[in-house]
Amino acid sequence: MREAARVRRLAAATVVAGLLSGAVSVTPPATSGARPHAAAAADFLAARDGGRAADYPLLYERSARIPATGESVWVGKLWDRRSGRLEIVYRDEAGAVGGPELVRGRVRAAHALLSAFDRKASHGLREAVSRAAVSSGRARPLAVAAWLEVDLDAAEAAVRTAHPEVAWIGDRPLLNDLGAVRRLRAELWSARRDAIATAALGVRRAVERAGGRIAYVSTSAPIVFLDIGPEVVAGIAERADVVSLGLEGTWQPAMTSAAPAIEGNWTSGSGDSGAGVRVGVVEYHNVRRNGDLSGKVVKSYSTSGRLAFSPTFDHPTWVAGAIAGHGGRWRGVATGASIVSAGTGGYSPSLAYDRAIIRATDWAVSPGGGNADIVNTSLVQDTSTGAEEARRYFDSIVDRDGRLAVSAAGNYVNLGSWAVGSPGTGYNVLTVGGVDDQGTGRRRDDRIWYAPGSNGSNFLDRPSDPWNAHGDYNKPNLVAPAVNVRTANGLAASGTSVATPIVAGVAAQVLSNEPVLAAWPEAARAVLLAGAVYRVRMPNGSWNVDHEGVGMISAVWANRVANAGDNRLGGYRLGELTPGDQPVQEIAVLAGDRLRVALAWNSQVTGSGNLDLTDQLRADLDLQVTDPSGRVIGSYSLDNAYEFVEIVMPSGGVARLQVLQARFDGASETYGLAWAKVRETDPPGIRAREPDPDDRWPAGRDPLWVRFDERVMGVSGTTFRLRNLSTGTRVAATVTYQGSTRTAFLVPDRRIRPGRYQLVLRSGITDRALNPLRTTRWNFRVIRPR
Partner 1 sequence: MPGMARRRWFVRSGALTLFLLAACTSQPPSSAPGSVAPSLAPITTAPASGAPSPDGTLASPGTPYDATEVLAAMRDSRRPGGVPDELETDAVAAALAAALWTWDGQQWAAWSVGGSCGPETCSLDVAGSPSTGAGTDLYSFVVDRVGGGVTLSSTDLHGHPPGLDARLDAIARGALEPAALDGLRLVSGRWLPPPDTDRYWLAYRSGGEEGAPRLDVLVDLASGEVLEVDDGS
Question: Which residues, 542 to 581, sit near partner 1 by CB under 8 A?
Answer: 542-546
Q: Return left, alpha or beta for 501; rule: phi > 0 is left, psi -120 to 50 is alpha, else beta.
A: alpha
Complex with partner 1: residue 268 or 616, whichever CB lies closer:
616
We find the least distance from the C-beta atom of residue 25 to partner 1, in angstroms, to be: 5
We find the least distance from the C-beta atom of residue 405 to partner 1, in angstroms, to be: 21
C-beta of residue 352 within 8 angstroms of C-beta of residue 285: no
Is 330 a binding residue for partner 1 by CB under 8 A? The answer is no
CA atoms within 13 A on the CB side of 7: 15
Distance separating alpha carbons of residues 503 and 505, to the nearest angstrom: 5
Complex with partner 1: residue 493 or 621, whichever CB lies closer:
493
Stretch that binds partner 1, among 244-252, 432-440, 565-573, 777-785 (CB under 8 A): 244-252
Given 48, 52, 81, 131, the residue binding partner 1 (CB under 8 A): 131
Give the closest residue to 150 by CA, choosing from 603, 669, 605: 605
Is 232 a binding residue for partner 1 by CB under 8 A? The answer is no
User: Which residues from 248-267 bind partner 1, rule CB under 8 A?
Assistant: 250-253, 255, 257-258
Give 267-270's long-range contacts (Cβ < 8 A, gap of 24+): 267/331, 267/332, 267/333, 268/333, 268/506, 268/509, 268/555, 268/556, 269/331, 270/555, 270/556
Distance separating alpha carbons of residues 754 and 731, to the nearest angstrom: 13
Which stretches does DSSP call E strand in 583-715? 584-589, 594-600, 619-626, 632-635, 642-648, 653-664, 669-678, 686-690, 696-698, 704-708, 712-713
User: Which residues from 333-392 bind partner 1, rule CB under 8 A?
Assistant: 347, 349, 352, 382, 384-386
User: Which residues from 457-476 bind partner 1, rule CB under 8 A?
Assistant: 460, 462-464, 466, 471-472
User: Which residues from 47-86 bind partner 1, rule CB under 8 A?
Assistant: 60-63, 65, 67-70
Site string for partner 1, 487-506 (x = CB under 8 A): ------x-------------
Site string for partner 1, 622-661 (x = CB under 8 A): ----------------------------------------
Complex with partner 1: residue 23 or 699, whichever CB lies closer:
23
We find the least distance from the C-beta atom of residue 511 to partner 1, in angstroms, to be: 29
We find the least distance from the C-beta atom of residue 349 to partner 1, in angstroms, to be: 7
Site string for partner 1, 88-117 (x = CB under 8 A): ----------------------xx--xx--
Given 15, 210, 699, 760, the residue binding partner 1 (CB under 8 A): 15
From the CA atom positions of the chain, what is the Rg in Å?
Answer: 30
User: Which residues from 390-449 bind partner 1, rule CB under 8 A?
Assistant: 412-419
End-to-end alpha carbon distance in the chain:
78
We find the least distance from the C-beta atom of residue 456 to partner 1, in angstroms, to be: 10
Question: For 773, phi and psi rounded to 5 degrees?
Answer: -65, 140
Complex with partner 1: residue 482 or 493, whichever CB lies closer:
493
Distance separating alpha carbons of residues 153 and 136, to the nearest angstrom: 46
Distance separating alpha carbons of residues 646 and 625, to the nearest angstrom: 9
Given 271, 453, 565, 580, the residue binding partner 1 (CB under 8 A): 453
We find the least distance from the C-beta atom of residue 539 to partner 1, in angstroms, to be: 8
We find the least distance from the C-beta atom of residue 457 to partner 1, in angstroms, to be: 14
Instruction: With H, G, I as helix, E, B as strand and everything else as coil, classify residue 549.
Output: coil
We find the least distance from the C-beta atom of residue 637 to partner 1, in angstroms, to be: 9
We find the least distance from the C-beta atom of residue 414 to partner 1, in angstroms, to be: 7
How many other C-beta atoms can be found within 10 angstroms of the C-beta atom of residue 9?
10
We find the least distance from the C-beta atom of residue 721 to partner 1, in angstroms, to be: 48
Q: What is residue 742's DSSP assignment? A: T
C-beta of residue 491 within 8 angstroms of C-beta of residue 314: yes
Is 235 a binding residue for partner 1 by CB under 8 A? The answer is no
Given 269, 452, 565, 728, the residue binding partner 1 (CB under 8 A): 452
Amino acid at the residue 577 = L
C-beta of residue 236 within 8 angstroms of C-beta of residue 203: yes
Given 163, 537, 723, 768, the residue binding partner 1 (CB under 8 A): 537
- Sign of torsion over alpha carbons 166, 171, 174, 179: positive
Bridge partner list, 128: none
C-alpha to C-alpha distances, 565 to 167, 551, 568, 573, nearest whole angstrom: 18, 23, 10, 6
- Residue 369's Cα: distance from chain center in Å? 27
Complex with partner 1: residue 538 or 588, whichever CB lies closer:
538
Is 139 a binding residue for partner 1 by CB under 8 A? The answer is no
Given 124, 229, 367, 652, the residue binding partner 1 (CB under 8 A): 124
We find the least distance from the C-beta atom of residue 83 to partner 1, in angstroms, to be: 25
- How big is the site for partner 1, counted in residues (CB under 8 A)? 95
We find the least distance from the C-beta atom of residue 115 to partner 1, in angstroms, to be: 8
Instruction: With H, G, I as helix, E, B as strand and everything else as coil, classify residue 565.
Output: strand
Given 305, 311, 580, 630, the residue binding partner 1 (CB under 8 A): 311
Is 541 a binding residue for partner 1 by CB under 8 A? The answer is yes
Given 9, 82, 209, 753, the residue binding partner 1 (CB under 8 A): 9
Q: What is the torsion angle, in degrees rounded to the nearest 10, for the CA atoms of residue 369, residue 371, residue 377 and residue 383?
A: 80
Complex with partner 1: residue 13 or 54, whichever CB lies closer:
13
Is 23 a binding residue for partner 1 by CB under 8 A? The answer is yes
We find the least distance from the C-beta atom of residue 611 to partner 1, in angstroms, to be: 9
C-beta of residue 231 within 8 angstroms of C-beta of residue 139: yes
Distance separating alpha carbons of residues 189 and 361, to the nearest angstrom: 14
Complex with partner 1: residue 278 or 470, whichever CB lies closer:
470
Distance separating alpha carbons of residues 163 and 168, to the nearest angstrom: 9
Site string for partner 1, 760-779 (x = CB under 8 A): --------------------
Give the closest residue to 364 by CA, choosing from 438, 279, 430: 279
Stretch that binds partner 1, among 148-156, 396-404, 533-541, 744-752 (CB under 8 A): 533-541
Is 166 a binding residue for partner 1 by CB under 8 A? The answer is no
Is 137 a binding residue for partner 1 by CB under 8 A? The answer is no
Distance separating alpha carbons of residues 156 and 189, to the nearest angstrom: 8
Stretch that binds partner 1, among 159-167, 246-254, 298-306, 515-523 (CB under 8 A): 246-254
Is 28 a binding residue for partner 1 by CB under 8 A? The answer is yes
User: Which residues from 682-711 bind partner 1, rule CB under 8 A?
Assistant: none
How many other C-beta atoms can be found within 10 angstroms of the C-beta atom of residue 717?
14
We find the least distance from the C-beta atom of residue 736 to partner 1, in angstroms, to be: 42
Complex with partner 1: residue 352 or 408, whichever CB lies closer:
352
Distance separating alpha carbons of residues 435 and 479, to the nearest angstrom: 6
Q: At what angle do helices 521-530 and 496-513 cross, to 10 degrees?
A: 110
Distance separating alpha carbons of residues 531 and 438, to the nearest angstrom: 22
CA atoms within 13 A on the CB side of 12: 14
Is 285 a binding residue for partner 1 by CB under 8 A? The answer is yes
C-beta of residue 524 within 8 angstroms of C-beta of residue 474: no
Given 17, 45, 599, 617, the residue binding partner 1 (CB under 8 A): 17
We find the least distance from the C-beta atom of residue 338 to partner 1, in angstroms, to be: 23
Element (H or E) spanning 364, and its range?
A: helix 354-365
Distance separating alpha carbons of residues 696 and 202, to the nearest angstrom: 96
Amino acid at the residue 368 = G
Bridge partner list, 747: 734
We find the least distance from the C-beta atom of residue 127 to partner 1, in angstroms, to be: 5
Distance separating alpha carbons of residues 476 and 429, to the nearest angstrom: 10
Complex with partner 1: residue 23 or 46, whichever CB lies closer:
23
